[in-house]
Structure 1
Amino acid sequence: MAVASRFTVALHALAFLADRKANNDEYVTSDQIAFSVGTSPVFIRRILGSLRKANLVNVKHGGTDTGWKLSKNPDTITLLNVYNAIIQKPLFEQHHSTPSSQCVIGKGIQPALKQMYDESETAMKQQLDQYSISNLLAETITHYNLLES
């Protein structure tokens, strides 16, 4: 699955957990989240595992109250926090093979791209840091209500 898709699934799962947190404080199963996302519970558990390592969610095993829930207030979890938890590589990658140093383009393309890529990724991260899971949940509910009317 594409990196951007994993990020989107993580955001979907956190918005789902934030909605449940607002209505009660129960743990939510990976099956419930997977149903909402439209994917497998195994994939959801992998995503939630990365979010757990970043201290964004808690997991409880065994008993009647098994599942996942937010470990923080959704107002304090930014989309950048989620991005950093899920994405392990730079947004843009350079060539997989070394371009020719005998060519003007081959010799200069990587430093030129690095600067552009770094600036673009920095701008994107600054934008993601402006939104919280609470913002995402509110926008999601707004769009749901518009689609239902």
Structure 2
Amino acid sequence: MDTKFSVALHILAMISESKEVLSSQALATSVGTNPSYIRKVIALLKNAELITSHQGKSGYQLSKSPKEISLLEIYYATQEVDHIRLFQMHQHANQECPVGQHIEGAVAPIFTSVEQQLEKNLADQTLEQVIDNLYHAAKQARI
């Protein structure tokens, strides 16, 4: 299971809300992984121009405000794709079987519809909502 998307959300929320300069080691400690994996995800986020860093300085900054960064942008950055593919069609269906001949045409529109709906939902959600949810969850934990 690929976790780069959820790790990226964790990293971006920390970068947005931290008052301190965060190293890949500090981020890795919070995420619960190793610094090399964090650097890999950070490289993807930098390539997508979601974060920036300055030569000779440690730490990262968001390239725009959290309310301007959609979850779809983050997903695309971390998955290195330009559309969501949740479902793969199995190969080598028996073309002499009535179901095998037509199964792809029967399920492809359903797969496409679900994937397009997910893209729309992620496009409508922002990093700011993730951060708001974080504060809400932290507040609930104290009650």
* TM-score, normalisation: structure 1: 0.85
Structure 1: which 5+ residue stretches go unaligned? none
Unaligned runs of 5+ in 2: none
User: What corresponds to 1:69 in structure 2?
Assistant: 61
* CA shift for structure 1 position 68: 2.2
Aligned partner of 1:43 among 34, 37, 47: 37
Distance (whole Å) between structure 2 residues aligned to residue 133 and residue 30 of structure 1: 20
TM-score, with length taken from structure 2 = 0.88
How much is the aligned-residue C-alpha RMSD, in angstroms? 1.6
Whole-Å separation in 1 of the counterparts to 2:104 and 2:53? 43
Question: In the alignment, does 2:134 pair up with 1:140?
Answer: yes
Percent identical among aligned pairs is: 29
- Does the 8 Å contact 1:28/1:68 carry over to 2? yes
* Partner residue, 1:111: 105
Aligned residue number for residue 88 of structure 2: 93
Give runs of ≥4 in structure 1 deviating > 2 Å.
59-62
Alpha-carbon displacement from aligned partner over 1:1-36 (angstroms, at most 9, x marks no partner): x23x2211111111111112xx4xx64211111111
Aligned residue pairs, count: 140
Q: Which residue of 2 aligns with 1:14?
A: 12
Given candidates 97, 102, 109, the residue that maps to 2:96 is 102
Please point out which of 83, 86, 89 is paired with 2:75.
Answer: 83
- CA deviation digits over 1:37-95, x for unaligned, max 9? 11111111111111111110113354xx3132211111100101111111236222121
Aligned mates of 1:47, 1:116 — CA distance in 2: 31
Please state if 1:54 is matched with 2:52: no
